[in-house]
């Protein structure tokens, strides 16, 4: 099935330069650079966060139309609680407003919403909306995973605790089944914007064989043309998983 899928995209999925683009099943995004983008325009950091959500629906559509099934976004890390209270409040308000728009349209768009992380510290109205979205979209296939109050290290610690609590053998299969969101395939491609070349506590268990793509473009400027560049780079790679092709 995977070979047929790649053959289909090699035949039909090309960009404006006629380059072959193979969209992977699961793409994860580290959306970095909102604050620096705002600063480069002599604006407050919140201006960057507000503009950082503008291209999301275009990215959803582009990826899902071209064969991806799972998209993961690093929305708010556990370390982000160190930021000023006003900035945190603004970030959660922006997330809430964008999700509210999606909630009104989800029956037409049919994207499943999943949260990977913790919900106990986020604003009550956002938590309520997320729980409602997760319940009402759970049957949809195309999946958007939102990493909120997320730490890859703490996910691993939490999973280890689950294995001990349930007296489970520490196998790779059991470990994967006890992650925050079991049943999600590991990301094929992780894209990080803003020029930083690190993973910042993101999906530490899941990224063992992910392809990594780093771009200097700040997240608010990461549009579908920039996405095509990332996918073109990914399409040129050979994934051997330790074997020989």
Catalytic annotation, residues = 32, 80
> In 3D, which of 218, 200, 223, 226 has the Cα closest to residue 33?
218
**39-45 long-range contacts, Cβ below 8 Å, gap at least 24?**
40/218, 45/87
Round to whole Å and give the CA distance between 161 and 226. 40
Round to whole Å and give the CA distance between 150 and 147. 6
Round to whole Å and give the CA distance between 3 and 10. 11
Task: Tokens for 199, please give them.
Answer: 């993973």
């Amino acid at each position: 099935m995977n070979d047929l899928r790649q053959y289909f995209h090699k035949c039909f999925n090309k960009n404006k330069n006629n380059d072959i683009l193979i969209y992977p099943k699961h793409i994860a995004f580290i959306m970095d650079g909102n604050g620096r983008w705002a600063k480069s325009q002599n604006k407050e950091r919140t201006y960057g966060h507000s503009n950082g959500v503008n291209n999301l629906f275009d990215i959803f559509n582009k990826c899902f139309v071209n064969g991806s099934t799972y998209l993961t976004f690093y929305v708010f890390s556990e370390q982000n609680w160190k930021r000023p209270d006003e900035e945190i409040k603004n970030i959660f308000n922006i997330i809430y407003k964008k999700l509210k728009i999606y909630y009104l349209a989800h029956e037409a768009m049919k994207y499943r919403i999943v949260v990977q992380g913790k919900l106990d510290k986020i604003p009550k109205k956002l938590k309520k909306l997320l729980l409602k979205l997760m319940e009402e979209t759970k049957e949809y296939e195309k999946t958007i995973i939102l990493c909120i109050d997320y730490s890859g290290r703490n996910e691993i610690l939490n999973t280890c605790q689950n294995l001990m609590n349930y007296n489970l053998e520490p196998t790779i299969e059991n470990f994967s089944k006890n992650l925050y969101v079991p049943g999600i395939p590991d990301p094929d491609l992780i894209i990080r914007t803003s020029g930083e070349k690190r993973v910042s506590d993101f999906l530490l268990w899941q990224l063992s064989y992910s392809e990594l793509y780093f771009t200097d473009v700040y997240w608010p400027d990461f549009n579908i043309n920039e996405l095509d560049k990332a996918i073109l780079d990914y399409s040129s790679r050979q994934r051997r998983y330790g074997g020989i092709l």
